[in-house]
């Protein structure tokens, strides 16, 4: 069920009304209702996927309970190993089996040996990369004694499957979200209003900006042999805005939906293209994932506590793993490796006290290199990515492909609209129209966004990009 679908437009208002009807009739009844609504939401794609999320949830619930009663170091390590192995095992099988099988065959072919490895016709369960990380962090935090296990199975199952953030995040920590399922809820009009505004702006980012840009990007990246370097520069710039609005828009809708139900989810994006360093960029981009990798990969590897060389290796390794998390394709691994390289070089220059650039220049460099890395993220293969890079640097051409002039014009309008809005939010938050002190301005702004979406939004065949991860 997509946030920008008619199904969800019918589903969410009913859930909202029924939730507040049962909210004051006991925590168990409320959580049971949320669990049922979340499983209905998730099972809308394919009911068979429910077996996987239920299995993952039950394993981690039982492991968490056992960890709370065991003090022996060896037994605790065994229990957390069961949790990690089961979650990563499910993820590896459904998401990476064919990738590793094909890579294995290609590696032997490179040395002149032909082998046969069977691949499987596996459908990737939606959101498996997100909910496995969320439930796995629960047992890891109990193992580290940063969290106590919850005894209420319904509350835990509802935490794992909470529908607003189930399939594409934010990846919530149990320490933040799980206690909210154990609290009594009272309707807060101001909170619901703030959530509604986030839903409207998120839908606008998705339908009127991301999907509008996506029409042009798909036309260019889908026909690599028919476009010049200049066109790919524009298409890559458009894709940078598209993927930001697509994912940040989804996150805002998720956060807004949760807020109308009285739940607080963590912010997932903070205007990342205003970052003046790659460290700053990753503190603004997909915050729930970047902090997850920081806490559960980078720091356990040693973080920055060792030598400079070890720190650089830890950084690079973390980002390569992050790239692999994004997709079972070498393009994503290279994308992660590039960001690892950028971070490593940046940290080395800072340690050597060589990095002293004006902030505006730093922002331009970070954005340009981020766009360069996006080429690998968007391209269909590594070969296509290098083909595009070659076109950009060696064959820029003299004309710019515009295709359907209406599509290109509205895409450009969407970019301008976003840049103005982002600039105001970053530097003049008092100018932000949706949160203006004047009630009339707020009503006009909200109405304008809804009408703009209705007239220029793209709704046909519209999937969220991060659903594939």
| 466: DSSP letter | G
Give the pLDDT score at 34: 95
Quick check: pTM over 0.85? yes
| Contact between 38 and 117 (Cβ < 8 Å) | no
Does residue 110 have a pLDDT over 70? no
Give the pLDDT score at 444: 86
Structure tokens at 392: 């950009």
Does residue 104 have a pLDDT over 70? no
Compute the average pLDDT of residues 415-437. 83
Phi-psi region of 306 (alpha: psi -120 to 50; beta: other; left: phi over 0): beta
Compute the average pLDDT of residues 417-446. 83
User: Which of 31-35, 253-257, 306-310, 342-346 has the lowest average pLDDT?
Assistant: 306-310
Nearest CA-CA partner of 379 in 426, 329, 421, 444: 329
Q: What percent of the chain has pLDDT over 90?
A: 53
pLDDT digits (tens, 9 = 90+) for 363-385: 999 999 999 999 999 999 999 99
Spatial separation of the C-alpha atoms in residues 319 and 340, rounded to whole Å: 5
What Å distances lie between residue 274 and 5, 62, 160, 277, 425, CA to CA? Answer: 31, 44, 33, 9, 11
Task: Let me know if 326 is a catalytic residue.
Answer: yes
Spatial separation of the C-alpha atoms in residues 51 and 57, rounded to whole Å: 10
Chain centre to alpha carbon of residue 85:
23
pLDDT digits (tens, 9 = 90+) for 148-170: 999 999 999 999 999 999 888 79
Find the catalytic residue in 186, 326, 383, 395: 326
Nearest CA-CA partner of 202 in 162, 156, 260, 119: 260
Give the pLDDT score at 322: 93
Spatial separation of the C-alpha atoms in residues 69 and 64, rounded to whole Å: 9
């Amino acid at each position: 069920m997509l946030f920008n679908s008619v199904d969800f437009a019918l589903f969410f208002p009913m859930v909202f009304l029924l939730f507040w009807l049962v909210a004051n009739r006991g925590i168990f009844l409320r959580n049971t209702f949320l669990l049922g609504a979340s499983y209905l939401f998730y099972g809308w794609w394919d009911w068979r996927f429910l077996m996987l999320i239920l299995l993952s949830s039950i394993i981690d619930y039982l492991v968490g309970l056992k960890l709370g009663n065991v003090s022996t170091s060896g037994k605790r390590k065994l229990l957390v190993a069961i949790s990690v192995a089961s979650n990563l095992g499910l993820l590896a099988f459904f998401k990476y089996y064919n990738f590793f099988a094909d890579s294995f065959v290609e590696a032997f072919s490179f040395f002149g040996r032909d082998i046969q490895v069977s691949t499987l016709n596996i459908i990737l369960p939606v959101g498996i990369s997100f909910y496995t990380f969320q439930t796995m962090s629960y047992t890891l935090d109990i193992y580290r004694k940063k969290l106590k296990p919850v005894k209420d199975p319904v509350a835990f199952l509802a935490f794992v499957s909470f529908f607003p953030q189930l399939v594409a995040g934010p990846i919530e920590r149990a320490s933040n979200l799980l206690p909210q399922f154990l609290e009594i809820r009272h309707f807060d009009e101001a909170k619901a209003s703030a959530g509604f505004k986030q839903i409207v702006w998120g839908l606008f980012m998705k339908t009127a900006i991301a999907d509008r840009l996506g029409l042009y990007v798909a036309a260019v990246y889908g026909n690599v042999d028919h476009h010049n370097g200049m066109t790919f520069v524009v298409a890559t710039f458009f894709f940078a805005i598209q993927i930001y609005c697509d994912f940040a828009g989804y996150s805002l809708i998720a956060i807004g939906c949760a807020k109308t139900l009285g739940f607080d989810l963590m912010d997932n994006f903070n205007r990342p293209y205003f970052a003046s360093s790659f460290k700053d960029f990753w503190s603004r981009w997909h915050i729930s994932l970047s902090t997850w990798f920081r806490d559960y990969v980078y720091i356990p590897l040693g973080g920055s506590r060792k030598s400079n060389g070890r720190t650089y290796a830890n950084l690079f390794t973390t980002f390569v793993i992050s790239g692999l998390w994004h997709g079972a394709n070498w393009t994503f691994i290279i994308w992660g490796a590039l960001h690892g390289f950028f971070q490593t070089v940046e940290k080395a220059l800072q340690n050597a006290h060589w990095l002293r650039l004006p902030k505006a220049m730093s922002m331009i460099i970070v954005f340009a290199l981020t766009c360069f890395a996006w080429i690998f993220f968007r391209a269909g293969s590594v070969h296509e990515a290098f083909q595009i890079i070659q076109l950009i640097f060696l064959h820029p051409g003299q004309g710019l492909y515009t295709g359907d002039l209406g599509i290109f014009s509205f895409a450009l309008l969407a970019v301008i609209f976003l840049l103005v809005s982002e600039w105001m939010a970053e530097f003049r938050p008092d100018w932000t129209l949706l949160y203006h002190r004047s009630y009339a301005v707020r009503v006009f702004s909200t109405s304008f966004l809804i009408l703009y979406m209705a007239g220029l939004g793209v709704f046909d065949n519209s999937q969220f990009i991060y659903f594939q991860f």
